[in-house]
Structure 1
Amino acid sequence: MYEINLRITGPTPLAPQVLQAMSQQIISHRSDEFKSLYAGVDRNLRALLGTIHPVIFLTSSGTGGLEATVQNILRPCDRVLSLQTGFYGELFAQITERTLDAPEQLIRLRSEPGQSTDTQKLSYMLQQQHFDAVLITHNESSTGVLNPLKHLVQIIKANSGALVLCDAVSSAGVVPIHMDQWGIDVLITVPQKGLMAPPGLAIVVANDRAQKRASSARVGMYFDFKRALACARLCQTPSTPSIVSFRGLQVSLQLLFSEGLERVYSRHSQARAICQSALTELGLDSLAKPPFQSPAMTAINLPAHIHSQPLQLALEQYYKLYTAQGAGDLQDRVLRIAHMGWFSLTDIKWAMVCLKDHMRKTY
Structure 2
Amino acid sequence: MIKFLVTGGGGFIGANFVRLALTEGWGAVLNLDKMTYACHPGTLAMLRRYPNYQFVHGDVGDRALVADLLQTIQPDAVIHFAAESHVDRSINSPQDFIQTNVVGTANLLEEVKAYWQQRPSREQDTFRFIHISTDEVYGSLGPTDPPFRENTPYAPNSPYAASKAASDHLVRAYHHTYGLPTLTTNCSNNYGPYQFPEKLIPLMICQALAQQPLPIYGDGQNVRDWLYVEDHCRAVYRVWQKGQPGQTYNIGGNCEKTNLEVVQTLCDLLQTRYPQPNVNYHSLITFVGDRPGHDRRYAIDASKIQQELGWQPQETFTSGLTKTVEWYLSHQDWVQAVRTADYSAWLASHYGSTLSAPH
Higher relative contact order (CA 8 A, sep 6+): 1
With normalisation by structure 2, the TM-score equals 0.31
* Larger helix share, 1 or 2: 2
